[in-house]
A and B are shown apart, each in its own frame.
Chain A
Amino acid sequence: MEFAELIKTPRVDGVVLHRPFLPLVEGTLCLTGHHLILSSRQDNTEELWLLHADIDFIEKRFVGSSGTIIVKCKDLRIIQLDIPGMEECLNIASSIEALSTLDSVSLMYPFFYRPMFEVIEDGWNLFLPEESFKDLESMTDEWRLSEVNRDFSICPSYPPLVVVPKDTDDDTLLKVASFRHGGRFPVLSYYHKKNGMVMMRAGQPLIGPNGRRCKEDEKLINATLRAGKRGYIIDTRATAVAQQAKARGGGFEQEANYPQWRRIHKTIERYSVLQDSLIKLVEACNDQSHSMDRWLSKLEASNWLSHIKEILTTACLAAQCIDREGATVLVHGTEGTDSTLQVTSLAQILLDPSCRTIRGFQALVEREWLQAGHPFQHRCAQSAYSSGKLHGEAPIFLLFLDCTWQILRQFPCSFEFNENFLVLLFEHAYATQFGTFLGNSAAERATLKLPQKTVSLWSWVNRPQEMEGFVNPLYEPNSLVIWPSVAPQSLQLWEGVFLRWNRSSKCLDEAYEEMVHIIEYNKELQKKVNSLRRQLAQLETEGSPLHTP
């Protein structure tokens, strides 16, 4: 298919662009296969380059012979284009609609994007499972790397290589896979070096209405328990929901068959509820007209912060079981690709200082989200302005980023990255020139040949000149486990995402720069003092013969 077919009018002059907190720009609007471009053709004004993929929804309005298109983006920005000429406006609108909802992944921009920078370190090779397994091997010999899923036939959403208990052979894994939702047999998610405890994740057990059991499944997870110790199963669903799942062939581990495990149910909502929550929240944030009471009641009704609280609480619980109770933990919900990953990844941020570094966080996203089979393509196909029938869209990853931001806010010195880095990941999960977040699983990424055909986000972001903007100047490595507060008073609306386009950030940016300045200046000063000390010491030693009478 040629993009040209979809572009009915490639160019319109005299278009006026309205953006929040920026002056109007009048110029020429151009549509290309992947971008909407508005340029005033003057040297000093910024051009607008908007990826079609970033467009969530458009609205058309007509006054007389001219039209207005309101473009609502997945990064929550809303811009307005005033287009002279009814026909042009209609053409542009329908072109944008077509181009922003392309079905085929291989038509996406990452397949066409050629980097304008030299790739020094290829992000596609940065976080290979075999490499991270080497680290694990240096700490424990109780685990092995299994290739049972090398052709993705056992579990389509798992990567080719997974870490499983050493004594569990591949045949057992095959049997366990048939007992777990989506073939997602329990695999290692995290090894807590401090006490050797582990966190595993899986899909729900398929016990069904008749309480089917699987000896191999029991044996597999029991193999991770220390003698005489109990483990915890954290089911991210409410008890009632887990009960209902039995009727559909799913369910939970029954006490009788798993006597060494204590099961705890938490209530992390499913994706459709979360999508609804995002839509309501963003609507509340964008409505400038309401009173204080209405704002607070809409904020409450969106339930967004309740979800944040619940997810964080569950992650704290998992971390507590591992670090405080010295117990092994297995986490699952239904599929094990959404709430499960929120919990396992956040728990690691609390437990493992390396996840709070930039590389470590990238590795976490790679390991616990991309490799673990979070269906990014489905979940991020639409954002807060989506309407009509949805197909599994949900802000699961955004909630994870928001929770991370909440922890960062409470421990502002314990993270190597700053808020901008989290915002960046949010943007790129939804619309991007990079291939990292394309596809729904490792299998899909392999079929699409993403590493060969697209550029990794990490290749770009890890360049020193880009990284500069994402480094937290306050960072002091903190080797401790961190325990955030989950009291409602401690959780806040993530303004950096939800109010980003509704407020001027001038004063906050200024404050940030001032903070960076203070810190940089101090470092500089310290360096000078040290170098002066050295000089003095040098002079004194060199000159000492002269001083000795």
Chain B
Amino acid sequence: IEHLINRYNAKNPAIGTLYLTATHLIYVETYNDTRKEAWILHHHISSVEKLPLSTSGCPLIIRCKNFRLLHLLLPREKECQNVYQSLLRLSQPVKYEELFAFLYNPKQNEQQRREGWAFIDTATDFNRMGLPNDYWEISDLNKDYEMCSTYPSTLVVPKIASQATVMGSAKFRSRGRLPALSYFHRETKAAICRCSQPLSGFSARCVEDEQMLQAISQANPNCPFMYVVDTRPKLNAMANRAAGKGYENEGNYSNIRFNFQGIENIHVMRNSLQKLLEVCALKSPSMSDYLTGLENSGWLRHIKAVMDAGVFLAKAVADEQASVLVHCSDGWDRTAQVCSVACILLDPFYRTMKGLMMLLEKEWISMGHKFTQRCGFLDGDPKEVSPVFTQFVECVWNLTEQFPCAFEFNERFLIDIHDNIYACQFGNFIGNCQKEREELKIQETTFSLWPFLLKQQEWYRNPLYKRSVKSGPLRPNTLPLHFKFWCGMYNRFDKGMHPKQSVLDLLLALTQKKTESERKMTDLQRQLAVADGVLQDPAGPTQPVTNPIPSTDQLGGDGNCVTKGASKNLNSELLCTTNERKTSESESALTLSKGKAVSVQIKDFRKEVQGSY
């Protein structure tokens, strides 16, 4: 379908052509010989709005899940209607098979596809934490998804909890989402566990559930109590009691410390984002409009609530050596946010690219965050859509702002993961839980996102990253004034608003240049050594040669060479320090070995020089 259209934008309207393909909406604008293209995935379109016909044409507003906003003005009503109808249909697939991931073929063979999926294996993360151990075991009680249909097939549970305890506890938890381990902190032996709300109503009890919590508490020899954190506001939790759900009665469980964290539900969050986006879309707002709008949206308050809860968990584990059991209602939204924020605070691994991938696979994908519904992949109940994951990503971004050296990745990594989730180009996030993914044969028919991200790791690298030497959790400052509006996310396509020079790009370019220069230097040193060895003493004003150094490796020696050697040695020291600083394993391997070779050579040479004196 081809339409000549006119995009109106208060500031600079432009004329261009709109194309619709099976997967993309493409808008091409040619202005003064510069061609600008905007490719928008149909899956990224969150809403299409047709405004009343005006004298200049027929306006269409397209809002995207990656926060792009497009105002189109089509010359003819009929075309507009056609485009509108097509976009509505294309942006709201009704069946999983219509999602891009099932069509996408990146020209990889079956082997590569399988390797891609095997790249992130959550089982290895439990091994990394030192599990199973004396306190925790890997259980396959859920292997057929019978105990809990939205949990993964393998779970980590306390060793001392009997099968009856585990299964009994599952029965007492909403949708069978029993307490299972999410993170084990080696240093303190404290664990973060997660579950859904108990079916306690006003007075119901369950011995197995009480035993289960007891078992979790006892799995931590360092602390006589454990925290039970309900991430909801107290009022919400109380309201749930009337429906036979609710929260733990402190009196029924031994040695628990119960508290509420006050994170609002998905509906509040959806409305909040809606309001935030309205502020972002304001045409030349005053500072007052903007700040008032930001405040009224409540968005930063919600981000702070998630962060606060994550900090509470991390402090409990690291400072009090206490285990924590976290839940909300179903334990797949707020619980996922809070547990993963805590994991990032506690464990430097999750601040690496691979670590973040692992964390998403573990706390979000495998533990049943309902991506299909929350991100609205398919035409469905709009009330199930909520920016739960976006909020988590924003929490991570806030941490990267406060700790600029603590993360291996930069902002682009977070944004691209976010966009890729909505793009449905890769299979990782399709489906609402593991069971559904198996039924959909995701791993057999689609590709995994992670290897594709890693291919571009240079683009995603944080040049300031310093692998943390001392462990110990990040301790972010969570006063309100430390939470900033994320312009890079929500006003991402308003390029004019962003800094005009990117420090990130500059530093990344320098990092690349560094690798090149180091290679060049090694090369020159080798050439120089060869030239030096072949040539006779260059007669110069330097000290006369008194003691020619016997050269074993063709490195000729004279007065000149002593200084050269010294300077080379300095070079090699430089090289060594950079090699230590290197973070990428594969890329640096080459330079590392080269650097070493040079430094060894020069050290030997220096010994000879010194020896000869």
A492–B484 Cα distance when bound, in Å, is 9
Contact of A539 among B300, B525, B535 (CB under 8 A): B535
Residues of B within 8 A of A411 (CB): 499-501
Q: Which of A494-549 contact B (CB under 8 A)?
A: 499, 502-504, 507-508, 510-511, 514-515, 518-519, 521-522, 524-526, 528-529, 531-533, 535-536, 538-540, 542-543, 546
Q: A293-B298, A535-B528, A536-B527 are in contact. Are A285 and B481 (CB under 8 A)?
A: yes
Across the interface, A499 reaches (CB within 8 A) one of B481, B501, B520, namely: B481
Given A411-B501, A499-B481, list of 17 further CB < 8 A pairs?
Answer: A290-B480, A292-B483, A295-B481, A296-B300, A299-B481, A410-B499, A412-B503, A485-B496, A491-B287, A493-B481, A507-B404, A510-B404, A511-B405, A522-B514, A532-B521, A533-B524, A542-B535
Number of contacting residues on B, CB 8 A?
Answer: 67
Would you call B480 and A414 a contact (CB within 8 A)?
no
- Chain A nearest CB from B154 CB (Å) reads 37
Write 25 A-B pairs (CB below 8 A) sorted by A numbering. Answer: A285-B481, A291-B480, A292-B298, A292-B300, A293-B298, A295-B479, A295-B480, A296-B295, A300-B291, A306-B286, A309-B286, A410-B501, A485-B496, A489-B290, A489-B491, A502-B481, A504-B477, A518-B463, A518-B510, A522-B514, A529-B517, A529-B520, A535-B528, A535-B564, A539-B538
Residue of chain A at shortest CB distance from B491: A489
Known contacts A292-B301, A296-B294, A508-B404: A536-B511 contact under CB 8 Å: no
- Tell me the bound Cα distance from A11 to B548 in angstroms: 70
Are B510 and A519 closer than 8 Å at their CB atoms? yes
Q: At the interface, is chain A mostly helix, strand, loop or mixed?
A: helix
Determine the residue in chain B with the shortest Cβ distance to A538: B538
Residues on the B chain within 8 Å of A490, using CB: 487, 497-498
Most chain-B CB neighbours within 10 Å: which of A414, A488, A492? A488
Any B CB within 8 A of the CB of A240: no
Chain A: interface residue count, which band? 35 or more
A339: min CB distance to chain B, Å: 17
Say yes or no: B295 contacts A297, CB within 8 Å: yes
**B412, CB-defined interface residue at 8 Å:** no
Cβ of B438 within 8 Å of any chain A Cβ, yes or no, is no
Closest A residue by C-beta to B488: A489
How many angstroms from the CA of A272 to the CA of B285 in the assembled complex?
A: 25
Return chain B residues, CB-CB under 8 Å to A409: 499
Question: Residues of B contacting A484 with CB < 8 Å?
Answer: 500
Is A293 a contact of B532 with CB atoms below 8 Å? no
B292 partner residues in chain A, CB cutoff 8 A: 297, 300
Does B501 lie within 8 Å of A536, measured CB to CB? no
Is the beta-carbon distance between A485 and B497 smaller than 8 angstroms?
yes
Q: Looking across the interface, which residue of chain B has its beta carbon closest to that of A531?
A: B567
A474 at interface, CB cutoff 8 A: yes
B531 engages A539 (CB within 8 Å): yes
Across the interface, do B477 and A503 meet the contact criterion of CB distance under 8 Å?
A: yes
Which of B289, B291, B494, B496 gathers the greatest number of chain A CB atoms within 10 Å? B291
In the assembled complex, the Cα of A536 lies from the Cα of B466 at a distance in Å of: 36
List A residues 107-133 near B (Cβ within 8 Å): none
Chain A residues in 8 Å Cβ range of B123: none
Once bound together, how far apart are the Cα atoms of A53 and B578, in whole Å?
A: 47
User: Which residues on A sit within 8 Å (CB–CB) of B480?
Assistant: 290-292, 294-296
Of A303, A309, A499, A507, most buried by chain B (CB within 10 Å of CB) is A507
A518 and B464 alpha carbons, distance in the complex (Å) = 8
| Contact A542 B287, CB 8 Å, known A487-B497, A489-B280, A522-B510 | no
Contacts of A474 in B (CB 8 A): 503, 506
Report if A482 contacts B (CB, 8 A): yes
Given contacts A300-B292, A543-B538, contact A525 B574 (CB under 8 A): yes
**What 1/0 mask marks residues of chain B from 273 to 317 whose CB sits below 8 Å from any chain A CB?**
000000010001111111110110010110010000000000000
B286 A412 Cβ-Cβ under 8 A? no
Q: What is the distance, in angstroms, from B229's C-beta to the closest C-beta of chain A?
A: 20
For residue B531, which residues in chain A have a CB less than 8 angstroms away from its CB? 536, 539-540, 543
Whether B464 and A511, one on each chain, are in contact in the complex, defined by CB atoms closer than 8 angstroms, is yes
Please, how many angstroms separate the alpha-carbon atoms of A493 and B294 in the complex? Answer: 15
| A294 / chain B contacts, CB cutoff of 8 Å | 480
**Docked-complex contact B405 and A528, CB < 8 angstroms:** no
Tell whether, in the assembled complex, residue B503 and residue A305 are in contact, meaning their CB atoms are under 8 Å apart.
no
Q: A487-B497, A508-B404 are in contact. Are A525 and B518 (CB under 8 A)?
A: yes
A465 sits at the interface (CB 8 A): no
Question: CB-CB < 8 A to A288: which residues of B?
Answer: 479
Do A489 and B497 have beta carbons less than 8 Å apart? yes
**A533 vs B523: C-alpha distance when bound (angstroms):** 10
| Inter-chain contact B291/A305, CB cutoff 8 Å | yes
Question: When the two chains form their complex, are residues B291 and A299 in contact, meaning their CB atoms are under 8 A apart?
Answer: yes
Complex contacts, B477 vs chain A, CB 8 Å: 503-504
Q: Which residues does chain A contribute within 8 Å of B506, judged by CB atoms?
A: 413, 474
Report the separation of the CA atoms of residues A518 and B567 in the bound assembly, to the nearest whole angstrom: 20
In the complex, residue of chain B having the shortest beta-carbon distance to the beta carbon of A536:
B528
- The docked-state distance in angstroms from the alpha carbon of A229 to that of B239 is 73
CB distance from A133 to the nearest CB of B (A): 33
A309 neighbours in B (Cβ, 8 Å): 286-287
When chains A and B are docked, how far (Å) is the Cα of A409 from the Cα of B527? 44
| B482 on the A face (CB < 8 A) | yes
Q: In the bound complex, do residue A507 and residue B497 qualify as a contact, i.e. CB atoms below 8 Å apart?
A: no
Q: How far is the CA of A3 from the CA of B528 in the complex (A)?
A: 70
How far does the alpha carbon of A414 sit from the alpha carbon of B502 in the complex, in Å? 11
Bound-state CA distance A542–B481 (Å) is 65
Interface check B507, CB cutoff 8 A: yes
Q: For B518, what are the chain A residues with a Cβ–Cβ distance below 8 Å?
A: 525
The 5 closest A-B pairs by CB, nearest first: A488-B290, A511-B404, A295-B480, A300-B291, A296-B295
Docked CA distance A474–B501 (Å) = 10
Nearest chain A residue, comparing its CB with the CB of B475: A504
A515 touching B535, Cβ below 8 Å: no
- Pair A412/B501 contact, Cβ less than 8 Å: yes
B19 within 8 A of A: no
Docked complex Cα distance between A309 and B477 (Å): 28
Question: A296 vs B480: C-alpha distance in the bound complex, in angstroms?
Answer: 8
- Kindly state whether residue B388 has any CB partner on chain A within 8 Å: no
- Residues in A whose Cβ lies below 8 Å from that of B50: none
Query: Separation in Å of the A396 CB from the closest CB of chain B?
Result: 19
CA A308 to CA B483, docked complex, whole Å: 20
A488 to B281, CA, bound (A): 12
Of all chain A residues, which has the CB nearest B577?
A521
The closest CB in chain A to the CB of B481 belongs to A295
Residues of A within 8 A of B280 (CB): 489
Within 8 Å CB of B517, what residues of A?
522, 525-526, 529
Say how far B492's CB is from chain A's closest CB, in angstroms.
11
User: With A and B bound together, what is the CA distance between A23 and B300 in angstroms?
Assistant: 32
B499 touches A514 (CB 8 A): no
Given A412-B499, A533-B524, A543-B538; A507-B405 close (CB under 8 Å): yes
Residue B403 at the A interface, CB < 8 A? yes
Q: Is the CB of B481 within 8 A of A306?
A: no
State the Cβ distance, A436 to closest chain B Cβ, in Å: 31
| Complex alpha-carbon distance, A410 and B497, angstroms | 9
A180-B521 Cα distance, complex, nearest whole Å: 66
Chain A 453-488 against B: per-residue CB contact (8 Å), 1 yes, 0 no? 000000000000000000000100000001111011
Nearest chain A CB to B84's CB is how many angstroms away? 30
Q: Which residues of A contact B298 (CB under 8 A)?
A: 292-293
Whether A529 and B538, one on each chain, are in contact in the complex, defined by CB atoms closer than 8 angstroms, is: no
Is B286 a contact of A488 with CB atoms below 8 Å?
yes
B404 neighbours in A (Cβ, 8 Å): 507-508, 510-511
Residues of B within 8 A of A518 (CB): 463-464, 507, 510-511, 514
A510 B405 Cβ-Cβ under 8 A: yes
Complex interface bits, B517-548 against A, C-beta within 8 A gives 1, otherwise 0: 11011001101100110111010000000000
Cβ-based interface call for B402 (8 A): yes
Q: Do B291 and A521 have beta carbons less than 8 Å apart?
A: no
B571 within 8 A of A: yes
Q: Mark B570-601, 1 if CB is under 8 A from A, else 0.
A: 01001000100000000000000000000000
Q: How far is the CA of A303 from the CA of B286 in the complex (A)?
A: 11
B157 lies within 8 A of chain A by Cβ: no
Residue in chain A with minimal CB distance to B305: A292
